[in-house]
Amino acid sequence: MKGRKKWLAFNPRTEGSIVVDRGAERAILRQGRSLLPAGVKDVRGEFAMGSVISILDEDGQEMARGLSNFSSVELTLIKGLNTKQIPRVLGAEAYFDEVVHRDNLVVVDRRE
């Protein structure tokens, strides 16, 4: 593990968290994919775009950490939606497809 991913994995402080569904959990842990809005079930805490956030499974256990491409306010509006719906909901022409891109995500899976 190098640079940014090491910093993400071992940074003791996160600024918020998101809960993902089983499909997103599988995509992150088994398929090495990015996190899309459709897989987000809940947003916890307040954070800005670019913040380090915890990614939790449905049982509330941390499985990954990453840099969020959206603020908590924006993510609350687009959680559970298809990526194509983001511009309409946020009223923005430019946006990210991913909530957390795989390049900015590290699996920590501290679940027992």
Cβ atoms of 67 and 60 closer than 8 Å: no
**Domain spanning 3-107 has what CATH number?**
2.30.130.10
The ranges assigned to domains in the chain are 3-107
H or E element at residue 16: none
| pLDDT tens, position by position, 90-101 | 988 777 899 999
Residue 110 has a pLDDT of 59
Q: Name the more confident of 109 and 26.
A: 26
